Amino acid sequence: MTYSEETLIAYADGELDAAARAALEAAMAADPQLAQRVARHRALRARVQAAFAPVLEEPLPERLLASVRAAAAGPHAGSVVALQPRARARWSWPEWTAIAASLLAGALLGPPLLRPGAGASLVDTSGGRVVAGGALARALAGQLASSQPAGAPVAIGISFRSRAGAYCRTFSLSEAGGFAGLACHEQNAWRIETLARAEPAPAGNGYRPAASALPPAVAGTVAELIAGEPLDAAAESAARARGWMR
């Protein structure tokens, strides 16, 4: 059997399947000229690889490390929808209305998640408060960080007790254009403390975002409100069992 150059190259590049590989190796054993052709291709690959291998050992230039660490300025600064780390004052109603309106008119209206039939909207502004609604409210009440359903529209991050004694939970909305926020349980509802644009959370692989992965606006509010450490899985489960009552 004669072998095309492309087949020999594919062999040198590790691209032949087991059967083709075995057949070629048997042929090479019987045909030194064929073996020589293959050796040429393998030698070239090894030589090209070797020429660039030392780059891996070079110290990393500081400017590249700096660009990895660089705060994402500019475009990211503009994408925080809501709240800076807050001062003591609660958000006033007009501010909340503006935030909620921008959410409802913007990214949150687009996704299938929020179209009619998919359930209530994620943010409910009725009754003079901004509280979680629909799938967000259900996730905050029932979803544990340790066992997130695959493909869930809402991912729960950390849960903790606030200094005021309320249970609070961070969340991210994977399919709503990427929002993350913090809600605290208050008067039988989840009052939304912070909401900011974020990278979409990956759905369904059990990844649990750490507080450090939250948008700065959310992480700042967590740092401001948290009393002690976040709840571990057992405490989280126990709090859910008590309906998040203090």
Question: Residue numbers of the site for other proteins (CB under 8 A)?
Answer: 5-6, 9-10, 13-15, 39-41, 43-58, 60-61, 63-65, 67-70, 72, 75-76, 178, 198-202, 205, 207, 209-210, 212-213
CA distance 236 to 159: 7
- Least distance to other proteins, CB of residue 233, Å: 21
With respect to other proteins, which residue has the nearer C-beta, 51 or 245?
Answer: 51
CA Rg value for the chain = 28
**In 10 A of CB 60, how many CB atoms?**
8
Give the residue carrying structure tokens 């020999």: 8
- Least distance to other proteins, CB of residue 178, Å: 6
- Least distance to other proteins, CB of residue 38, Å: 11
CA distance 118 to 125: 18
CA distance 159 to 239: 10
With respect to other proteins, which residue has the nearer C-beta, 37 or 240?
Answer: 37
With respect to other proteins, which residue has the nearer C-beta, 24 or 137?
Answer: 24
- Least distance to other proteins, CB of residue 120, Å: 26
- Give me the torsion for CA of 6, 10, 16, 53, rounded to 10°: 180
With respect to other proteins, which residue has the nearer C-beta, 98 or 210?
Answer: 210
